[in-house]
Amino acid sequence: MRLKSRTKFPPHGFSLLIPEIGMKKPFSGSFNEVVDKFAGIVSKNPALAQKNNWPTNRQAQEDWIDEREAARMVAHGWFGFVDIEGSPPPSPGGVRRSAFAGGVAAANTALTGLAIYKELFSGDSKPVAKSEAEWRAEICVSCPKNKKGGLKEWFVANIAKGLTELYGVMKDLDLTTSRDNELGTCEACLCPLKAKTWVELPTILKHMEPDVRAKLWDKCWITNPPAGS
């Protein structure tokens, strides 16, 4: 995934947040200003740059910021600023269907990680409050359908790579729970739980197919939401 334009400002400008050096608030500005800021951080922290595989030449740094900003656009739902790459090739492992409309993790119609994420946070949906995400995560951890294993065991390579990158963006935005290390992929709906726990319930219910919903654990937070949801 890439930015459609490096000169068209997104809301609040382009941004850079590097928690590894203790940054608490993102630096914002034009695309070139953000790249300059990142280049300065790399120059002053060569050991840390090597540890995190940060690029050291200008072109690679621009591409690194481009991809990172594209993922941030998706995290905020600003899909008009991002170009979606084509679908990955078919997988011999058969079809795995997502609980969200059009979501397919393998086969000819496979979606990229970006497209899956777009379905998870679609339209005007926003991430739920951290307290609710924590409550959901507690339930998912105890659910027998919470299946462990790496993303590559559940999704084709391109999608797994995209989800891994987007998990990194979620961490930067503090969209994490205390149980993230125990969350895997839901066997019933085939959704990555670290992302799903942050999706508003109306969005989930709108796109979830009845046959998928019927497979959920009887104590699932989707079918047993808190009062007032």
User: What is the tens place of the pLDDT at every residue in 195-221?
Assistant: 889 888 887 887 777 888 899 999 999
pLDDT of amino acid 62: 94
Q: What is the pLDDT of residues 113-154, one digit of tens each?
A: 445 556 555 556 678 899 999 999 999 999 999 987 666 555
Nearest by Cα to 203 from 77, 100, 76, 80: 100
Model confidence, pTM: 0.52
Q: From the centroid of its chain, how far is CA 43?
A: 29
Q: What is the pLDDT of residues 155-201, one digit of tens each?
A: 555 556 666 666 776 777 778 899 999 998 888 877 788 888 988 88
DSSP 8-state symbol, 188: T
* Residue 162: partners with Cβ closer than 8 Å, 6 or more residues away: 1, 112, 113, 114, 116, 117
Distances in Å between the alpha carbon of 92 and those of 117, 156, 161, 191?
23, 10, 18, 20
List for the chain the helix, strand, coil content (%; round to 5): 45, 5, 50
Greater pLDDT, 65 or 80:
65
Q: For 81-97, what is the mean pLDDT?
A: 46
pLDDT of amino acid 2: 84
